[in-house]
Amino acid sequence: MSGYTSDFIFALSEKYKISLDPTKHAEFSDEQYYGFCDEYISQCENRDRTLKQHLIDTPNLFRTFLPWREYVFDTVLQTQWYYDELIIYDPVYLKFKILDQVTLSVINVV
As to burial, measured by CB atoms within 10 angstroms (0-12 exposed, 13-18 middle, 19+ buried), residue 66 is middle
**Is the domain of 50 the same as that of 77?**
no
Domains identified in the chain, total number: 2
Domain hosting residue 83, numbered range: 60-110
**Is the domain of 88 the same as that of 36?**
no
Work out the pLDDT band at 23, boundaries 50, 70, 90: confident
Work out the pLDDT band at 98, boundaries 50, 70, 90: low
**Is the domain of 68 the same as that of 55?**
no
The model carries a pTM of 0.63
pLDDT digit string, tens, across residues 34-89: 888 888 888 888 888 888 888 888 889 888 888 877 888 888 888 878 888 777 77
SS (H, E, C) the chain: CCCCCCCHHHHHHHHCCCCCCCCCCCCCCHHHHHHHHHHHHHHHHHHHHHHHHHHHHCCCCCEEEECCCCCHHHHHHHHHHHCCEEEECCHHHHHHHHHHHHHHHHHHHC
**Is the domain of 52 the same as that of 106?**
no
Q: Which amino acid is located at 86 in the chain?
A: L
**Is the domain of 87 the same as that of 71?**
yes
**Is the domain of 67 the same as that of 41?**
no
**Is the domain of 44 the same as that of 70?**
no
**Is the domain of 65 the same as that of 16?**
no
Question: Half-sphere exposure of 61 toward its Cβ, with a 13 Å CA cutoff?
Answer: 14
Q: What pLDDT is attached to residue 67? A: 80
**Is the domain of 74 the same as that of 45?**
no
pLDDT > 60? residue 106: no
Largest CA distance in the chain: 51
